[in-house]
Amino acid sequence: MEKLLWSFLVLISFSDAFGQTDMYKKAFVFPKESDNSYVSLKTQLKKPLKAFTVCLHVYTELAKTRGYSIFSYATKNQPNEILIFWSKDRGYTFGVGGPEVLFKVPEVTVAPVHICASWESTSGIAEFWVDGKPMVRKSLKKGYSVGTEASIILGQEQDSFGGSFDTNQSLVGDIGDVNMWDFVLSPDEINTVYVGGTFTPNVLDWRALMYEAHGEVFTKPQLWP
């Protein structure tokens, strides 16, 4: 009986830390700069990634002020295993395994933005989509494999595994609809995701999200359609 109770308490503790939640029509809100407010995402990768696609919505006023982290995937060997970052006056930085490529945007507006970033090892092709529109493809880390034991963070950039955050790189605003696949979505599939459809994500699923929020992070209704 005592063993059964102990197992139950362990299960409850794990569920509290990384509860599986349907986040449909919700967003994480980071209301102010900090070096301790972030969301950890949990996934169960069984083998290294040879390809992936990440899609999400982000809404912030920081674009003309400073850079900020959008999606940070670190391993113990590489803190920038996957990085999506906004660089002020430059555009979106997309990194895999350390190296990065830049995707410039023609104009910056204060409005919710939908982005998708994809990469495949075989060709080294990196793609970046903003509000359903593709940027020019770039070459990035051909032949690489993305590690599995990952710390995935929203709201901060990791300069070490799970930490070393910088207030001046923190997100202030909303982020939501975070989904990830272990393959490259086709242009038609990305457009479907952009207009609100989905193809069941198999790495991170916003409709069945396992996460833990730290610091001042709030869950609120999303502000985009």
User: What pLDDT, on the 0 to 100 scale, is given for residue 111?
Assistant: 95
User: What pLDDT, on the 0 to 100 scale, is given for residue 118?
Assistant: 98
Among 178, 202, 215, smallest CA distance to 55 is for: 178
User: What pLDDT, on the 0 to 100 scale, is given for residue 68?
Assistant: 98
> What values do phi and psi take at 56, rounded to 5?
-165, 165
Among 115, 103, 112, 105, smallest CA distance to 56 is for: 115
The neighbour count for residue 110, using CB atoms within 10 Å, is 12
Query: Which ranges in the chain belong to alpha helices (H)?
Result: 2-17, 187-194
- Rounded to whole angstroms, the Cα distance separating 164 from 158 reads 6
The neighbour count for residue 11, using CB atoms within 10 Å, is 10
- Rounded to whole angstroms, the Cα distance separating 214 from 156 reads 11
User: What pLDDT, on the 0 to 100 scale, is given for residue 1?
Assistant: 46
- Residues 6 or more apart whose CB falls under 8 angstroms from that of 188 comprise none
Give Cα 46 to chain centroid, integer Å: 19
Q: In this structure, are strands 218-221 and 38-41 parallel, antiparallel, or unpaired?
A: unpaired
Question: What pTM, to 2 d.p., does this model score?
Answer: 0.91
User: What pLDDT, on the 0 to 100 scale, is given for residue 154?
Assistant: 98
How many residues in total does the chain contain? 225
Q: In this structure, are strands 91-96 and 82-87 parallel, antiparallel, or unpaired?
A: antiparallel
For each successive 10 residues of the chain (225 residues), what is the average pLDDT? 41 50 97 98 94 98 96 96 95 97 90 97 98 97 96 97 96 98 97 90 96 98 95
Among 152, 180, 146, smallest CA distance to 73 is for: 152
User: What pLDDT, on the 0 to 100 scale, is given for residue 164?
Assistant: 95
